[in-house]
Structure 1
Amino acid sequence: MAFAVIAGLLPICEAWAENSLPPRLEAIRARGELKVCVWPDYFAISYRNSRNSEFEGIDIDLARALSSRLSVRLGFVETNFISFMDRIEAGDCDIAMMAVGITPARARRVAFSRPYLASPVYAVTTQANTRIRGWTDIDSPGTVVAVAAGTIQEALMGRSLRRADMLVVAPPRTREAEIQSGRADVFMSDFAYTRRMLFMHDWARVIEPPDRFGETLFAWAVPLHDPAWLAEVNGFLSAVRADGTLTRAAARHGLTPILIR
């Protein structure tokens, strides 16, 4: 009997716990600050420019627009794709604006805005690499494929590779360093990050995928069980899409090809 009573109370307790979380929008306005999680190495998305240490990218522009809409100051919280959900759950940030790929596993821990970008997966190797000339060379015996820990590509390539070996790269190591050192032959990433490689490194060569391999929708991530905050974020996205702010920001950072209009 006692076990039955406890079991019956569990849904009630869980609902109470969810509803007892402080409403995020209310908390943001009370503190007068919007705390935004960003990954500072995400070129064209949420990137710290090494020349001036300033953040730049489409999500930096849009974070500023969102804080302006809310009439609060803006604070950036640096994170990565291994720990951003921990930061959201801990209340360290109110939203992750760092082009978060939507996956079922992530959706169990965070809520997603409507998507605003969509990108397949690309491969990056060196100009000098004669082993990897085209896409079909990637999944071959003896090839080492690098992926960043916690990213969409880690799970995708883990499922997809049959003959090649996968190397998971966690900070402070970088995929670029693994390629240049020869520890990996190729690394996988999305449109935005691979544009960075072409922009910054003359040794880099990008291989386009067939049939939009691994195409992923990207959105912003917010805490679960806070419908008012999610509605505010989606309302903001609708507004910047309607007034052209989103289109202009995508063009400014070279992301028009992957913009969802």
Structure 2
Amino acid sequence: MRRTVTLSALAALLAATAAGSALAAGSAAPAAADRPHPRGTPLDKVPERGVLRVCTTGDYRPFTHRDPKTGEYSGIDIKMAADLAKSLDATPRYIATTWADLVGDLAAGRCDVGMGGVSVTLARARTVSFSEPYLTDGKTPIVRCPDERKYTTLEEIDRPGVRVVVNPGGTNEQFARAHVKKATLTVHPDNTTIFDEIIEGRADVMMTDASETRYQSKVHPELCAVHPDKPFSFSEKAYALPRGDAQFKEYVDQWVHLATHDGTYRKYEDEVMK
């Protein structure tokens, strides 16, 4: 009888201990993914301040262009920035940057998002996050139209006597330095006038994103995009975001997904490219 009572008491003690443990676990702090997001990140700050701070270079048509006379910005991604800001009950404020400084400016908190034809790279992804891509792209040549058949391969471009021009600080320069060993490579500091170097005969080739070659060949009839449908490389364009802010990235991802499927992006693209 005494053994039976002792075992029953032990069972009751174990049951009580298990119940207490379950209660304690239930009252413990929620997992990180379930915790409320602290106020103070762009998803909260942008609506509160009524301003979306957009870092952009202003020198990469058709995505971003800053008029040197008026200071006004235009381009596909400028229109997209206004759309993103509106969705957050805000207006866009454009912050001038360069290709060499864009990632650092975003990481330092100077802006909430980087926009303007930004290519996704692993080097950039070590410092910032990227939204869902909105465009597939790649490097391809742009030349004077009489030379369209002359520079169709990297081997034809990378020859002694060929003059390759590139803008500094971004993926164009990285690509050119990786593939141009025999040709003459010149870094032109102003991406808004770089195509004049080819038109005026001071350079023969520039290798840039196919989207840019299509646009520049449209506004400069003297220039031809060389096989833009079959570029030398693969890349994607997306919007650069603060690293570690999962909630803001999720919001921008959803916005990009909707904009690229409901006709918003295509509408802005058609308005700029017409």
TM-score (norm 1): 0.78
Match in the other structure for 1:138: 157
Shift of 1:71: 0.4
Partner of 2:178: 159
Deviation readout 1:162-202 (Å, 9 max, x if unpaired): 43232233348842244355543211111232233223323
Contact 1:45 1:192 in 2 (8 A): no
| Residue in structure 2 matched with residue 194 of structure 1 by the alignment | 213
Q: Distance in 2 between matches of 1:172 and 1:44?
A: 12
Q: Which runs of 5+ in 1 are unaligned?
A: 1-18, 256-261
Change in CA separation of 1:209 and 1:166 when aligned onto 2, cut-off 3 Å? farther
Matched, 1:32 2:68: no
Distance 1:155 1:47 in 2: 22
Structure 1 residue 61 displacement after superposition: 1.6
Distance of 1:77 and 1:158 partners within structure 2: 29
1:169 counterpart residue number: 188
Structure 2, unaligned runs of 5 or more: 1-36
Q: Which residue of the other structure, out of 96, 99, 105, is the alignment partner of 2:123?
A: 105
CA drift of 1:114 comes to 0.8
Moved more, 237-246 or 45-54: 45-54
Considering fraction of residues, name the structure with more strand.
1
Q: TM-score scaled by structure 2? A: 0.75
Picking from 252, 258, 261, the partner of 1:233 is 252
1:71-115 superposed Cα distances (whole Å, 9 cap, x missing partner): 012111122211111221222211011121011111111110011
Aligned letter for 1:135? T
Paired residues of 1:140 and 1:164 also in contact (CA < 8 A):
yes
Post-superposition shift, 1:121?
1.6
Give the letter for the 1:221 counterpart: A
In the alignment, residue 147 of structure 1 is paired with which amino acid? V
Q: 1:212 to 1:191 in 2, by over 3 A?
A: closer
CA distance in 2, matches of 1:20, 1:232: 15
Say what the alpha-carbon RMSD is for the aligned residues. Answer: 2.9
Question: Per the alignment, in what secondary structure is the counterpart of residue 65 of structure 2?
Answer: strand
Q: Tell me how far apart the structure 2 counterparts of residues 90 and 220 of structure 1 sit (CA, whole Å).
A: 16
Find the counterpart in structure 2 of residue 221 from structure 1: 240
- Residue 141 of structure 1 aligns to a residue in which SS? coil
Tell me which amino acid in the other structure corresponds to 1:113: S
- The amino acid that maps onto 1:116 is Y
- Computing the radius of gyration from Cα coordinates, the structure with the larger value is 2
Q: Paired residue for 1:88?
A: 106
Aligned to 2:19: none
